[in-house]
Structure 1
C-alpha cells in the first residue's frame, strides 16, 4: 500500500494472519466502503470468451456479464496501487491471468479497505482482492472479540505474507523486533490484521512488566508512513512485500528500512460471498491453472514478490 501496505494482518493490510481480525457485515470492519477510484485498471488483457478453458465453471450470471467486479484498496504497492490513473500491481496482474483462464474481465474499483467485505456481501462487488489475509474470524464474520457481526466470506488463497516492521532510515531507536516496540509509538492502518498483531503484542508487553504499545491507527497506510517519516512514531507495520517496497522506493530508498524478520505469515485470499460456491470453485481452478502454466511465477518475478509464492490454491486455508 506506497502506496503502502498484508493489506494487510493486522500487524498486512496483512493483511498477516492474526486470529481475531476485524470482520464486519461479513466484513473487515464496521464502516461501509464508498468507492473512491474506478480502476481504469481492469484486466483488459482478458475478454469474455466461452472458448476460455474454465469459462464453463463460472456462474451463469458472470458468464453473461463477461465481467467480475473486484473491490480493492489500491494503496499497497507492489500488491495494488494507482499509477497513471490505473490500478496496477501483483493482484491486478494475477487477476488478468485468471481472466484469461476464465474468459472474463476483472474490473477493479478502489475503496476503503475496512469496507471491502461488507461491500462484497451487499452485492457491490463479486469479489474482494486487496492483499486480504484469510483468517477464521473473517471467514466466520467475527470481530476481534469473537462477536458475530456478519455472514463472513470464503477465501481462495493465492499468496502468503507476514507482518514486517519498518522504521526511519538508520533505525535511530535501534528497533530489531516487534518485542522492541514495547512502550513505543507505532503507526498502522486501521482495520488491518497487523493492527490486531500490535494489540496482541501490547498485551504481551504488559504481561512481561513492560509498557504497552502506543498504537496510532490511521484510515490509510500513507498517513501511517508519514507519521513514521516525521518521527512522530518510531515504527510502522505492514505486509512484508509492501514494507520492502516502501523502503525501496520512498525518497529514493532514503526514508525507511525494514528491520527484523517477517512474523505471523499467513495466506492472502480472494474474498467471495459464501453463497457463491460456484465462483469460489472457478477461482480455485483458475489459480491452480496459472500456477501450473507458469504465468503466476512470471507475475511474482515481475514485481519482486517471489517470497509470497504458493504451490497450490486453497479455500479457507487461514487460521
Structure 2
C-alpha cells in the first residue's frame, strides 16, 4: 500500500493508510484475521524461537531476542504484496520478512488489521513493526495529517521496495480513461487513508484549478470495496499501488475484470515502519534488508511474485521525500 499505500500520506500505501469501523478493525486485530507466523528457518533455536547462530541476532534489542519473534501488523488485502490464501498471510512482504527472520534469528508473526490503524497500533506497542506496502513519506515520519496537523509521534521507516500509483478501469476501458488526469468530473474509488487517496485529492484540486470539474472520490474502508465499485460501474476507475493494480488486472475474473491504464506515477519507497524510540531494531532491519539483497534472496522473492519492477539496490532509513 503509494498506499504514495502507494499499499500507499499521513496514514501515505503508496502505499501509508487506515480507518473505518472501529469495531471491525478491532475484531480483525483481536482475531488475527488469518494471522500467520513465518518460520524463520534458523538452524539453531531454543524454546522461544530465538537463534544466537543467526548472523544478525546480536543486533536486535534484548526484548526481541528474548521473545524470539517480531510482531508485524499488516493489512492483508494487497496481492501480490500481502494477502490471505488458505488461511495464511502470504505475498511479497511475508516472504521478505521470512528472509529477514533468517538473518536475524527470529520469527515474524503477522496479524492483519485495518490499514489506517497500523501506525497507531504500532506506536501503542501492539506490534513491533508495521509491514504492509506502506509508502514512506515525510508526513508519516513526522506523524502529520495532510494539513500538517500533528497526529502522533510518527515512525521511522526501513525502505525495502519502490512503487508508484496506478489507475485501473473495467476491462475494455468503456470510459476511455488513459491517465489520472482524465478523471476530472468522474467518480473514482479508493481505499481510505492511502497515499493514492491523496493522489486523487491532489489531482482533483488540479482539475478545479484548471477550470474543470473535481473528481468525485469515493473512499472505502478496504480495497476490496473499491474494486467492487469499479467492477460494477459505479466508479469509472480505481487507484492503487502499481504492483497491486497489475496483479489485480491479471487475476481478477481470470483477467477479464480490469485493466491498468497509463504509467505509474509518483513512485516512492515502501518501508517497514518502526517506533521512533526503537532505533536498535530499525538499524538491525536495515542491515538485514541489505543482507538479503546482497545474497540474492531478495531478487528471488520479487521474481517469484512478479514484482521485480519494485527492486531497490540498497536499504535506506526514512528515504521518502
What residue is the counterpart of 1:73 in the other structure? 75
Mapping of residues 1-319 of structure 1, within 5 Å = 6=1, 8-9=3-4, 12-13=6-7, 15=8, 20-22=9-11, 28-29=17-18, 33-34=25-26, 35=29, 37-47=32-42, 48-319=50-321
| TM-superposed deviation, 1:162 | 0.1
Change (3 A) 1:270 1:290: same
Task: State the TM-score, normalizing by the size of structure 2.
Answer: 0.92
CA distance in 2, matches of 1:28, 1:217: 11
SS of the residue corresponding to residue 286 of structure 1 reads helix
Separation of aligned partners in 2, 1:285 and 1:269 = 14
Post-superposition CA distance 1:285-309 (Å, at most 9, x none): 0000000000000000000000000
Three-state SS of the structure 2 residue aligned to 1:144 is coil
Structure 1 runs (4+) deviating above 6 angstroms are none
Give CA deviations for 1:126-165 in whole Å, capped at 9, x if unaligned. 0000000000000000000000110000000000000000
Instruction: Give the drift of 1:104.
Output: 0.1
Equivalents in 2 of 1:208, 1:228: separation in Å? 26
Query: How many equivalent pairs are there?
Result: 305
Q: Secondary structure of the residue that 2:277 maps to in structure 1?
A: coil
Q: Distance in 1 between matches of 2:238 and 2:213?
A: 18
CA contact (8 A) 2:2 2:268 kept: no
Of residues 37-46 and 74-83 in structure 1, the stretch that sits farther from structure 2 once superposed is 37-46
Taking a change above 3 Å as real, the CA distance of residues 30 and 172 of structure 1, as seen in their structure-2 partners, is closer
Gaps of 5+ in 1: 1-5
Structure 2: runs of 5+ lacking an equivalent: 43-49
Aligned partners of 1:7 and 1:130 also within 8 Å: no
d(CA) in 1 for partners of 2:208, 2:196: 19
Q: Indicate the SS of the match to 2:153.
A: coil
Note if contact 2:17-2:195 (Cα within 8 Å) is conserved in structure 1: no
Q: Is the 8 A contact 1:78 1:89 kept in 2?
A: yes
Indicate conservation of the 8 Å contact 1:28/1:118, yes or no.
no
TM-score normalised by L of structure 1: 0.93
Whole-angstrom CA distance in 1 between matches of 2:171 and 2:34 = 33
Asked whether the equivalents of residues 7 and 76 of structure 1 are also in contact (C-alpha less than 8 Å), the reply is no
SS in 1 for 2:36: coil
Q: Secondary structure at the match of 1:311?
A: coil
Deviations 1:90-126 (A, max 9, x none): 0000000000000000000000000000000000000
